[in-house]
Amino acid sequence: MGKYVIRRILLGLIVLLGVVTITFVIARMIPSDPAAKWVGPRATPQQIEEAKIELGLNDPLPVQFANYVIDLTQGNLGRSLRTHQPVVEDLKAYIPPTLELVLLAFLMAIILGIPLGIYSAKMKDKFLDHASRLFSIGAVSLPTFWVALFFQLIFYRMLGMFPLGGRISAETTILYEIPRVTGLLIFDSMITGNWVILKDALWHIILPCITIALYPIGLVARMTRSALLEVLNEDYITAARSYGLKEKFVLWRYALKNTLGSTAIVLTLSLGYTLVNTFLVETIFSWPGLGNYVATSVVTLDYPSIMGVTIFSAATYILLNLIADIIIAMDPRIRL
Amino acid sequence: MEKNKFIETLKPRFKELKFSLYLLNRNWLTKVSFYIVILLILLATFSQAISPFPGHIMDEANVSQKLLPPTSTNIYGTDELGRDIFSRVLYGTRVSLTTAILSVGLALLIGIPLGAIAGTLGGWIDEVIMRITDVFLSFPPLLLAIALVSILGPGLGNAMIAIALSWWPWYTRLVRGQAISLKERKFVQAAEAIGTPTWKIIFRHIVPNTVSPVIVQASMDMGGVILTVASLSFLGLGAQPPIPEWGLMISTSRNYFPDAWWYSIFPGLAIFITVLVFNLLGDGLREILDPKTRKN
C-alpha cells in the first residue's frame, strides 16, 4: 500500500512535469511579442530590447524552460503581461471565488444527487427512474453558458427574484466591511457573524451555482443508482433481509455505505469538467473568478496568466486523481 | 462450396447484428434518439435547400427587419441584421455535425496508430506513449483547447485541430487495450511466425480489428465534441461571423439580451437537442453492446 502510494505520487509528478512542458511549448508558440506587450504600444525599439533582456527572452529556449521550472518550484509563475502583477498574486485573488462556486455546487450534488440516486434505484424501471436517467443525460447535454442565460431570462428578467450577476451588491460593499479570512465570502461572513453580507452573497451565488451543479447532480445520482443496484444483489443484503431487518435499515446502514466510495470517486473525477463549466458560467454572471481572468487573458494573449491557470487547473486535477486512486487502494476488498 | 463456407462463418455475426437491432428497438428512448439523429443528418445535408431564406444563412442583411420576435414568416424571429434565425439555426446543424465529425476523425487519425503501436510493441515505447496520454488527459478538457486556439488563432478549422489534439488520448487508450489482447490471438502469432514485418502486423492485422469498438466510442463522443465546438465559438475562439454556428449565435445574441430572448433561446435549444440525442444514442449503444447487460 505504502509503496503503491509513493509510486502514484512519483507518477503524478512526472505527469505534472509533462503538463508544464506542454504549457511552456504552447506559450512560446503564441504569435505575439511578449516584450512589446510588456512595455506597451508606445515603447521605443530600445525599450522593447531592454524588456526582452529583463524577461529573459534572449536566452536559449532550454535555458528559459529550466528557469521557468526552477521558478515554478519556488511558487513563481511569472508576471502577467496585462496587470504587471505576479501571476501567483492574481491567482490568489481569483481562485477563492471560483472555489466557492465549485464547492457549493459539489455540496448540492451530494445533498440532491445521492437521495435522487437512492430513489431511482428503489423505483427501478418506474417513472422516477426514467425521469432521473433523462435528467442525468440531459444535464450533460446542456450547454452551460446557455443555461446561465436562460436562468437570467427567467429569474432576473421575468421574475426579478435574483440579481443579473456579480458576487455581492454594490450597496453592501459600501455600507458594510467585507470580511476577509479565507476569501470564501459565504464562509467568512458566517464565521464573523455578518448575516447581511451572508444573505447578499447567497442571493448572488444561487443562480450560477445551480447552473454548475446540474452536471454533478446528474452524475452522482446515476452513480449512486448503479452502485446501489449492484450492492443490493449481494448475498450479505439478502442475509440481512432474511434476518428480518427493516428495508430502510438495510438500505441506509448496510447498502449505502458500500456505494459511497464510488460516488466520491465519480465526484472527484468530474472536477475537470465542472471547472471548465464554472469558467463559462463566470463570464456570464460577471463572477470575479478564474474564468473571467482566463477569458480576458485569452483576448489580450497574456500568456503567463493563461499558463498559470492551465497549470493550476491541471495540478488540481492530477492531485484529485491521486486522491481518488488512494481511496480505491484503501478499499480492503482490493489487493494491489 | 467455398462460398457457402464463407456464408456459414458470417451467420453468427448476422445473428448478433439482428439481436442488436432487436435490443435497439426494445428501448424506446434509444430508438427515438436513433431516428432523430438520422433526421438531423438529413436536415444537415439538405439545410440549404429547405431553408426559407437561403440568403440569410451567411451575411445578406435586411436591417429594416432587425430583431423581430417570432412570427409566422420568421418562426424563430430575426437577428441584429434582420436575418431569419430559423434558416441560420437550420444551417448550423450542418456546421456543427461537419465540425464534430472532422474533429473526431482527426483525433482518430492520431489516436489509433499510437494506441496500436503502444499495445503491440509494449516495453518502453508503450510506457512513453501512455505517459504522454496521461499528460494530455490531465488538462481539463476545454482548457487545453482554449490554450491551443490561442496559439493557432481563432477560427473553425483551428478549433477542430485543437479539439482533436485534446481528444486523441482516449482513442489511444482504447486501441492499446484492444491491441494487447489481439496480439495474443492465433492469427497475429501466425503472421509473426511467417516473418511478417511488425509495421505490417500493426496496420494490416491489429488496426482493422479495433475498428468496431473505436467507431462505437467515436459515435458516443459526438455529443461532447459538438458541445465543445459550441463552447469555443461562444468564447469567440471557434467559428467567426458570418458562419451560422450555434455557439457563436448565442455569443452575439448576448448584446441584445434579454430583450431579444428568441435570439439566444433557439440556437441553444438546437445545441441541447442535438447533443442530447447523440448522448442518449451513445448510452443506449453502450448498454446494447456491453456483454454484461446484453443478455437480460
Tell me the pLDDT band of B92, cut-offs 50, 70 and 90: very high
Tell me if B258 and A283 make a contact (CB, 8 A cut-off): no
User: Cell numbers 454548475 correspond to what residue?
Assistant: A212
Q: What is the mean pLDDT of residues B171-198?
A: 90
Tell me if A143 and B227 make a contact (CB, 8 A cut-off): yes
| Cβ-based contacts of B279 with chain A (< 8 Å) | 137, 140-141
Instruction: Specify whether the CB–CB gap between A288 and A178 falls below 8 A.
Output: no
Among residues A94, A96, A109, the alpha carbon closest in space to that of A269 is found at: A109
**What average pLDDT does chain B have?**
86
Query: Any chain B CB within 8 A of the CB of A87?
Result: no
173-202 of B, contacting A, C-beta below 8 A: none
pLDDT (tens digit, 9 = 90+) per residue, A199-242? 888 888 999 999 999 989 988 888 888 888 888 888 888 888 88
Query: How high is the pLDDT of residue B115?
Result: 94
Task: Count the neighbouring beta carbons within 10 Å of the beta carbon of residue A15.
Answer: 23
130-169 of B, contacting A, C-beta below 8 A: 131-132, 134-136, 138-144, 146-148, 150-151, 153
pLDDT (tens digit, 9 = 90+) per residue, B17-37? 787 777 777 777 788 888 999
| Cβ-based contacts of A280 with chain B (< 8 Å) | 142, 231, 234-235
Full 3-state SS string of chain A: CHHHHHHHHHHHHHHHHHHHHHHHHHHHHCCCCHHHHHHCCCCCHHHHHHHHHHCCCCCCHHHHHHHHHHHHHCCCCCECCCCCCEHHHHHHHHHHHHHHHHHHHHHHHHHHHHHHHHHHHHCCCCHHHHHHHHHHHHHHHCCHHHHHHHHHHHHHHHCCCCCCCCCCCHHHHHHCCCCCCCCCHHHHHHHCCCHHHHHHHHHHHHHHHHHHHHHHHHHHHHHHHHHHHHHHCCHHHHHHHHCCCCHHHHHHHHHCHHHHHHHHHHHHHCHHHHHHHHHHHHHHCCCCCHHHHHHHHHHCCCHHHHHHHHHHHHHHHHHHHHHHHHHHHHCCCCCC
Query: How high is the pLDDT of residue A336?
Result: 47
A84: left (phi over 0), alpha (psi -120 to 50) or beta: left
233-272 of A, contacting B, C-beta below 8 A: 272
Tell me if A309 and B250 make a contact (CB, 8 A cut-off): no
Tell which of A269, A276, A312 to mutate to test the B interface (max B CBs under 10 Å).
A276
Residue B45 Cα, gap to closest chain A Cα (Å): 23
* % pLDDT > 70, chain A: 96
Per-residue pLDDT of chain A (336 residues; tens, 9 = 90+): 778 888 888 888 888 899 898 888 887 776 666 777 677 777 777 777 777 777 777 777 788 888 888 888 888 888 888 888 888 888 988 999 999 999 999 999 999 998 888 888 888 778 888 888 788 888 888 899 999 988 988 888 888 888 887 787 777 777 777 777 777 777 887 777 778 888 888 888 999 999 999 989 988 888 888 888 888 888 888 888 888 888 888 888 788 877 887 888 888 878 888 888 898 899 889 898 898 888 888 878 788 888 888 888 888 888 888 888 887 777 766 554
- Between A295 and B175, name the one with better pLDDT: B175
Tell me if A143 and B268 make a contact (CB, 8 A cut-off): yes
Inter-chain Cβ pairs, chain A and chain B, closer than 8 A: 139
B7: pLDDT strictly greater than 90: no
Prediction pTM value: 0.85
**Distance (Å, rounded) from C-alpha B253 to C-alpha B264?**
6
| Cβ-based contacts of B29 with chain A (< 8 Å) | 130, 134
